[in-house]
Amino acid sequence: MTVLRSREVPPPSPLPRTPTKRTPRKNSPPLPASADALGPPTPSRADAPSTGGPRTAAANALGFRAPSPVAPRRSSRLASRSAEAAAVESGASGMGEEGKEGRGRSGKRGWDASGAGWSASRSEEGEEGGGIVGFDLNLPAVESPSGTAKKRRERGKAVDPTVSSESISEEPTRMEVIEIESDGAQEEVDMVASRGRRYSSSEKGKGIMVEDDAPSFSEKGKGIMVEDDAPSFSEKGKGIMAEDDAPSVAGARFYEFLDGDRSPVHVPERDSGEEDNWAEGGTIIDDEKGMMVLVQGKWLTMGDLGVGWVPKTEHYHVERDPAVRRKESDRRKAKELAPKFAFFKPEEEDDSEEGDSSGSPKDDPADWPGPFSTAVKIINDREKRLESRQLRPGSALFKSSELRIEWVPSSDPERGCLKRLVPSLRDLAVRALSENAAEIESLDGVPNELRHQLSGCICKRRTMDEHVLDLFVRGSPTEIRVPDCSWASEEEFERIFVGANTDQLAVLQLDLCGRCLPDYILSSTLARSPNKLPSLTTVSLRGAYRLSDDGLDSLASAAPLLSSIDLGECSLITSTGITSLVEKLNPVLRELYLDDCHIDAMFILPALMNLKKLKVLSVAGIESVTNQFVHHLVSVHGASLKELVFTGCKRLTTASVKAIGEKCLQLRSLDLRDLVRLDDYALVHLANGCTSFQKLMLRHNPFRLKLTTLHLSDKAVAALLEASGGSLTELSLNNIREVSNFTAQAIAIRCSLTLRMLDLSFCRKTTDEVELSRSLPDVTLRFVIVTKTWFLLCTVVRA
């Protein structure tokens, strides 16, 4: 799971807002400096951005800042929003066109322009406000967001004189970024806001760190603004606040702060909380950020972020209990949630088999007897031949130390470039049908293959709905495949399947059915009674995130002949459920796909070992799969295993692959993607053991070179292909760094007859000269994926 640092806060483009702001506001006389300043929204505000009336009202008031009694601030975010609206308004009023434009632009330029405007407006406001010089912390933290906004705004403005106004003006714009619409859910808003801010603030913080001493405020502002994050202003505000002892800090303090070399707020996140806190200087307990910012009775251990002025805030006291309490509870919540997002670093020492006995580094694997060494010899011979051939004529041209294979475009007209694939009539018809899916009356007589293609096409086009699915379910179908059931609701699903005749149903695929398939629906439709699905052998319920162990149990009772189950990404299933399922289906289960389930591999191992006929096992993405698991599994089932998928099982090392190579001689398909602890010996073992791969998927395996010979990995892969690639139909060498000429040659020579899918993405060492189809008369490569390969691979030929 990725570490969730912050929710992505889509930066609102200032543009949509600017038009509204652009309504020129004449300088209206200052409103009375009182809480009423926040008064009723004025018509000009009416078209304010979505934040709504109160904000605009506040904005109005803001322009004319009136000192008002400090009121508890509820949400910095909303405050900032209104503040920014207000700022915008005032800016609009005060500044000229350029101000508005400045605001519209989200860059620094905008700042400048608006900054200028700001100063102008500020000065006049200053006059109006009667000396609310700079920072007026006395603004009431009123309930209405506008109120707080007002405050913010004023504060921001106050800063003007000493700092370039750019930053300030920029902030209001920035603040608009906060998209919190609802005034109500303060908490959520705060959360969201804070998260968004968190992100930016942390970024900002970093940004500011760099320019720590006595940068101009605008610089600081820039640092902050870079993130284009709304809360910037609030951040700043916070910083400012932090500086102050009490909400009623005079502007002078603020200036002092600003002038100082302290970087402004990099208050990480928790806008709302922070705001509250700063007002009272309480302990800011950053829940979510808690991890990042330890609030230890100080304002924010900005030390974490390297912010210099942390100590200053010590004198802040918790004055407002509710806010603090909220912070506390939020923090607790965050602590509970945190482990979920924690990044797990697998212990290096781990249980294995670091006795990678295969790895006696002195021992050159190429010397070991077996198919691998034979293959390596072949490759070496080839290399020598090529070298000698090339050395003869223009050896002077030999620039690189790598083997260069001369490539000449084929002049044979028949073997032209990829023939433009004409869409078949069947595909055209399926496409046409899927577009008009609603008009299909019946699918009687349509063979299964066509049905599947049709349902796939319809799902892709998102035209699948209850009526269409009903067509597939009607009658007594033998196979139903729906790759995407996410459109269905519980009622629809129930309606469709409650009357379905499932006697002959052998294959059922309902992927992405999470929304519509909780346990009780399953029990009321498909698994209504034991043996309701008498012929069902294959079921796929990928993404059934509401299915729990009980549902699985009822399914197993209803379908006693189930031999292939796909439970990928069923998050509610536990190891116990799997174990009981496996035990129930002990005599018949052949294929089990457990991708990305939250289970413990070792727990289910005994049940797996008892299976009689296991042929396919996929445990992709399950972190608890270890070498031990693999060892035991293959020792029991090795001889009959046909397909193994270990994508992303990061703990596996070469020892597992060795076990696989030794025991799973009939293996047809192996997926070792994203296993970063494999080295070249793994390839050796595979080559020596499994001789008949049909599908080999490797991705991002480093295959670290343990020997000193250059290009060993390339040769090792080539040797593997040479030895075992005779029947390869799908090959993926995605991001295997060392893949280069030898591998290409091996592919061309050995795999070309059968290969249907080839993936050489990110193999940067392959070059133009690599020729895959040089000597092969009839090669049909259906898919060649060459993403990010810097040079083109010439491939294919003939249709």
What residues are paired with 508 via a beta bridge? 480, 539
The residue (of 70 and 454) whose beta carbon lies closer to another protein is: 454
Q: What angle do CA 390, 395, 396 make, to 5 degrees?
A: 150
Interface with another protein by CB under 8 A: which range of 237-245, 272-280, 426-434, 713-721? 426-434
Residues 558-577 close enough to bind another protein by CB under 8 A = none
645 sits in the region (left: phi over 0; alpha: psi -120 to 50; else beta) called beta
The residue (of 571 and 780) whose beta carbon lies closer to another protein is: 780
Q: Cβ(505)–Cβ(474) under 8 Å? A: no
Burial class, 343, CB count within 10 angstroms (exposed 0-12 / middle 13-18 / buried 19+): exposed
603: three-class secondary structure by DSSP: helix
Q: Which of 794, 741, 732, 737 is nearest to 766 (CA)?
A: 741
Q: Which of 603, 505, 491 is nearest to 555 (CA)?
A: 505
Q: Residues 361-400 vs another protein: string with x where CB under 8 A?
A: ----------------------------------------
The residue (of 471 and 751) whose beta carbon lies closer to another protein is: 471
Residue 432 touches another protein, criterion: CB under 8 A? yes
Pairing state between β 538-540 and 564-566: parallel
Minimum separation from the CB atom of position 439 to another protein (A)? 6
The residue (of 185 and 438) whose beta carbon lies closer to another protein is: 438
279: three-class secondary structure by DSSP: helix
Residue 778 touches another protein, criterion: CB under 8 A? no
Residue 702 to residue 427: CA distance in whole angstroms? 40
Number of residues that bind another protein (CB under 8 A): 22
Q: Cβ(686)–Cβ(657) under 8 Å? A: yes
Minimum separation from the CB atom of position 420 to another protein (A)? 7
Minimum separation from the CB atom of position 448 to another protein (A)? 11
The residue (of 406 and 449) whose beta carbon lies closer to another protein is: 449
Residue 413 touches another protein, criterion: CB under 8 A? no
Interface with another protein by CB under 8 A: which range of 73-81, 320-328, 423-431, 613-621? 423-431
443: three-class secondary structure by DSSP: coil
The residue (of 226 and 450) whose beta carbon lies closer to another protein is: 450
Minimum separation from the CB atom of position 434 to another protein (A)? 10
Q: Which structure tokens are listed for 216? A: 């101009």
Binds another protein (CB under 8 A): choice among 2, 411, 436, 708:
436
List helix spans (H) across 64-185.
76-94, 97-104, 108-129, 145-159, 165-175
Minimum separation from the CB atom of position 464 to another protein (A)? 17
The residue (of 293 and 430) whose beta carbon lies closer to another protein is: 430
What are the C-alpha distances in Å from 303 to residues 200, 295, 366, 426, 789? 17, 10, 55, 67, 44
Q: Which structure tokens are listed for 662? A: 């030794």
The residue (of 355 and 423) whose beta carbon lies closer to another protein is: 423
Minimum separation from the CB atom of position 470 to another protein (A)? 16
Binds another protein (CB under 8 A): choice among 433, 619, 721, 793:
433
Residue 111 to residue 167: CA distance in whole angstroms? 6
Minimum separation from the CB atom of position 445 to another protein (A)? 7
Binds another protein (CB under 8 A): choice among 385, 419, 461, 467:
419
The residue (of 474 and 515) whose beta carbon lies closer to another protein is: 474
- Residue 448: how many other CB atoms lie within 10 Å: 14
Residue 426 touches another protein, criterion: CB under 8 A? yes
Residue 428 touches another protein, criterion: CB under 8 A? yes
Binds another protein (CB under 8 A): choice among 214, 429, 498, 639:
429
Residue 422 touches another protein, criterion: CB under 8 A? yes
H/E element holding 373?
helix 371-391
Q: Cβ(132)–Cβ(160) under 8 Å? A: no
Q: Which of 328, 309, 226 is nearest to 264 (CA)?
A: 309
The residue (of 315 and 426) whose beta carbon lies closer to another protein is: 426
The residue (of 213 and 439) whose beta carbon lies closer to another protein is: 439
The residue (of 377 and 460) whose beta carbon lies closer to another protein is: 460
Minimum separation from the CB atom of position 796 to another protein (A)? 16
For the chain, the residue count is: 799
Q: Residues 210-229 vs another protein: string with x where CB under 8 A?
A: --------------------
Interface with another protein by CB under 8 A: which range of 186-194, 439-447, 521-529, 530-538? 439-447
* 344 backbone dihedrals φ, ψ, rounded to 5°: -95, 125
Residue 439 touches another protein, criterion: CB under 8 A? yes
Q: Which structure tokens are listed for 605? A: 């191992």
Binds another protein (CB under 8 A): choice among 1, 396, 408, 425:
425
- Residue 342: how many other CB atoms lie within 10 Å: 11
Task: Render 525-542 in DSSP notation, one character per residue.
Answer: TTTSSTTSSTT--EEE-T
Residue 48 to residue 42: CA distance in whole angstroms? 10
Interface with another protein by CB under 8 A: which range of 174-182, 193-201, 257-265, 433-441? 433-441
Residue 513 touches another protein, criterion: CB under 8 A? no
The residue (of 83 and 469) whose beta carbon lies closer to another protein is: 469
Q: Which of 60, 53, 125, 117 is nearest to 89 (CA)?
A: 60
The residue (of 315 and 460) whose beta carbon lies closer to another protein is: 460
Residues 444-483 close enough to bind another protein by CB under 8 A = 445-447, 449-450, 454
The residue (of 367 and 414) whose beta carbon lies closer to another protein is: 414
Distance of alpha carbon 282 from the chain centroid: 36
Minimum separation from the CB atom of position 535 to another protein (A)? 24
Helix, strand, coil abundance in the chain, percent, nearest 5: 45, 5, 50
Residue 335 to residue 658: CA distance in whole angstroms? 42
Q: Cβ(658)–Cβ(651) under 8 Å? A: no
Q: Which of 745, 728, 737, 784 is nearest to 764 (CA)?
A: 737
Interface with another protein by CB under 8 A: which range of 142-150, 200-208, 421-429, 495-503? 421-429
The residue (of 116 and 443) whose beta carbon lies closer to another protein is: 443
Minimum separation from the CB atom of position 441 to another protein (A)? 8
Footprint of another protein (CB under 8 A): 419-420, 422-426, 428-430, 432-433, 436, 439-440, 443, 445-447, 449-450, 454
